[in-house]
């Protein structure tokens, strides 16, 4: 069973369309992975705000871990679990549907508008640790 650990400052609550409805809210206990804990069968399709740029997924019984780190431009993290037990981790630069949230006056989505010819870049690193 996978054990997940990452730090964030908040979470976006979503509507039936799975799009955030409001600004990021305080993190409830059931979504707090600041201390490593098993994911189990917890259903997640969640956008987290204020990500600290590091997430670890480990399988203690296999003595195997994956450490994913990202540059600060990746301020949000999406975590998705599927009923078959698979899990996806997606560092993102802004909240899901951030442009529409920003248009509604919701701050903190980290949406950036680039001028023509401008670029935005960041690096994501994945390290596999055995032992």
- The pLDDT tens digits of the residues spanning 100-131 come to 999 999 999 999 989 999 999 999 999 999 98
18: number of Cβ within 10 Å: 11
Q: What's the predicted TM-score (pTM) here?
A: 0.92
Tokens at 11, concatenated: 């979470």
Secondary structure E strands in 1-131: 3-6, 10-12, 37-38, 45-49, 54-59, 64-70, 76-81, 87-92, 124-130
Q: Please give the pLDDT value at position 131.
A: 83
The length of the chain in residues reads 131
List, for residues 88-102, the tens digit of each pLDDT value: 999 999 999 999 999
């Amino acid at each position: 069973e996978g054990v997940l650990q990452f730090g964030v400052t908040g979470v976006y609550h979503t509507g039936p369309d799975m799009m955030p409805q409001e600004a990021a809210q305080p993190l409830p206990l059931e979504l707090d992975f600041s201390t490593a804990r098993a994911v189990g069968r917890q259903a997640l399709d969640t956008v987290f705000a204020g990500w600290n740029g590091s997430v670890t997924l480990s399988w203690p019984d296999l003595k195997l871990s994956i450490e994913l780190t990202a540059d600060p431009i990746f301020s949000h993290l999406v975590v998705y679990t599927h009923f078959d037990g698979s899990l996806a981790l997606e560092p993102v630069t802004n909240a899901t549907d951030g442009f529409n949230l920003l248009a509604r006056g919701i701050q903190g989505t980290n949406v950036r508008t680039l001028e023509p010819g401008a670029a935005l870049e960041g690096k994501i690193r994945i390290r596999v640790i055995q032992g």
